[in-house]
Structure formats: structure tokens, C-alpha cells
Amino acid sequence: MAGWSCLVTGGGGFLGQRIVHLLVEEKELQEIRVLDKVFRPEVREEFSKLQSKIRLTLLEGDILDEQCLKEACQGASVVIHTASVIDVMNAVQRETIMNVNVRGTQLLLETCVQASVPVFIHTSTIEVAGPNSYREIIQDGHEEEHLETAWSSPYPYSKKLAEKAVLGANGWALKNGGTLYTCALRPMYIYGEGSPLLYAHVDSALKNNGILSHHCKFSRVNPVYVGNVAWAHILASRALRDPQKAPSIQGQFYYISDGTPHQSYDDLNYTLGKEWGLCLDSGMSLPVSLKYWLAFLLEIVSFLLSPIYKYRPPFNCHLITLSNSVFTFSYKKAQRELGYEPLFTWEEAKQKTKEWVGSLVKQHKETLKTKTH
């Protein structure tokens, strides 16, 4: 596909930025369009540096704005759809999450048909597969197991519906007589420099004498580095544009992990922060079963109070399950069909992320110094 162009939705986000950086190196790519609701000043600055290498167009707009999508998709050859609302705390209204994650994806697919965009890659999540119970053990899970989340919590539920819409759209007829080809990537928990979740953990620890919260010690997961997830998107876009490879990839989903060791979320946070004086809370931790029932009771209280008062529990059943399950997945199918091999080793990923955590700690210390003077 000589002289192709690519639209990245959510391109100003944690993963989106990394995809844009890797796209710059792609052969015969003429333009990258980056759509996001808002671009932070530092992101704009970062992208302006890339404009000497490639035509890079920033589009500020809403995924639910049909006119905006129409302009963004016009003449595009590939859409990489990373835009979504991520929320495990039920902090965002259900309606907002369903609108952005489901309706936004459907609108984008419909726009691709009208604009005759032939390739659509969707960033899904491991959460569409589960875990459904902290007692269930999934180790080295794979695509043939057809695991599916049973949660009605807005985030996993909306992402499940969005992924189904994308894979169901594979083979749709385009306005110009062509065909739409789609696939979805399901990354594990993503870490790396700029991770909003890791930032929240570090920030909370710094406000608590360097003590990292210790709520996830029973989990066993295989987190994935952001650079490797971005690389999987690049390979998927190459494969779907390749007439030889495309037929086996169309309408498929892929688990994306890497060489990061299987560990608990707590251990990952500790590994990335210990060099900077961050340590795990050594206090006693409640048994998971007790935490789960406590979460269940709090959810009932929240429901009963809802007509008169909006009470948001500090944790919920879905979060307890997510944080305390054995849930790991293999990337063999992506390796086989997309040619995916992690671009960054665990050592490289760990080093880069540690340096970023170090910069947060340094920033915090400087802020404290300024306040005391």
C-alpha cells in the first residue's frame, strides 16, 4: 500500500504516544493523524519534534463527534483505535464509559465504512477475558480457550462489547467496494514510563512516607511493557496490509505479553520503586475472601443509598478479584501470526521505568524543599 496514512485515536495517551513514535519509522507512511480529546502541552511539544520527520496532524475532538470522525478518517488507510475510558474504581459514570468505549467504537467503524478505510486495529484489554473469580487459576492462557468476562462493571463490560463490535465488523463492505479488515489486541496490565496507574501508586507512596500499598500480594500476572504493546500494534498494521498474511489475521484477537516475569502487582511496584527508597507495607493484610465479602457489603450499601446519596466504596468486588487472581497469558499466537517478538527485554523495560519512577521521586523531593523554604 504505497503512500499510506494512519489515524491513531487516543494518540495523546500513555500507549497512543508510543504507537505514534514507532509509526514515524514505518516505510512509505505519508501522514500520521492523532485524534484525542485534549493534548497536554508536553505531548504537543513531544509531537512537534516528530514533525520534521513526517507529516503529523493533531486533531482535538471527541470520539462521539461524527463530523470530527469523518474529517479524521477521510483518506486514511489504517485506523489504530486506542481511545477509551479506563476505570476500575467505578469513579466515572457508567453512561460515560459505555458511550466512549462502545458507542465511540461503533461510530468509528461506521465512519471507516463511509470513508473506505480498509484496516482497523482495536486496542482491547485482558479484562475482556476475566478474571471472573479470584479462586479461578489461569496460567499461560491462550486464545483458543475463549475466556470471557462475566462482570457487568462498566469498564470490562464496555470493552467486551467494543471488541465484539470490531471483530464482528471484519469483512464489512466499504463504500468504494473494498472490504474492512479488523483485528483486536488484548494487552496484559501495561506498565512503563508515563503509566497513569503506576504514577498513582508512586504518588500515593510518596505521600505516605515511601510506603507502597500492599493490596495485591496474592495476584500472579504477567504485566507487559508499553513499548512492546505499541510494537504489537505496528506489526498488526503491517500484517493486515499484507495480502499474504492478512487472511489468517482478519477478525482475530491476540493476547500481548512479553518477557516480564510472572509476579504480583505489588512485587512489580516494589521492583520499580525500591531503588528510590519505596517499600511495601509490612502490615497485616486481610484474607482475600474477607475483603471480597466486605466489598460486596459496601456495594449493597452504595446501591441502597443511591437514590439519595452517591456513595463510592473505596474498593469493589471486581477490583478485589482483579488484584488477587492468578491470571497469566502466552503471546504465542501473536508470535506465530503477527511475527511478534518483544522489542524491549525485561531488563531494558525495568531500567527505563525505574528511571522514570526516580524522576517522580526527585520531583516530589524538590516540591517539598520549595514548600519548606
Count CA within 13 A, CB hemisphere, residue 242: 13
Q: Residues 74-87, buried b or exposed e (16+ Cβ, 10 A)? A: eebbbbbbbbbbbb
DSSP assignment letter at 101: I
Alpha helix (H) residue ranges in 147-287: 154-168, 196-206, 226-241, 246-249, 265-273
Cell triple for 141: 492462557
Per the DSSP assignment, residues forming a β-bridge with 224 are 190
Three-state DSSP class for residue 59? strand
Task: Give the integer Cα–Cα distance in Å for 70 and 176.
Answer: 15
The CA radius of gyration of the chain, in Å to the nearest whole number, is 21
Q: Are 2 and 27 in contact (CB under 8 A)?
A: no
Three-state DSSP class for residue 302? helix
Per the annotation, the verdict on 189 as an active-site residue is no
Q: Which of 155, 181, 189, 225 is catalytic?
A: 155
Task: Give the integer Cα–Cα distance in Å for 275 and 357.
Answer: 9
Task: Give the integer Cα–Cα distance in Å for 39 and 132.
Answer: 35
Angle at 227 between CA 120 and CA 62, to 5 degrees: 45
Which H helix or E strand runs over 5? strand 4-9
Q: Which residue has the cell 510494537?
A: 231
Q: Name residue 63's amino acid.
A: I
Task: Give the integer Cα–Cα distance in Å for 31 and 54.
Answer: 6
For the annotated catalytic residues, the residue numbers are 155
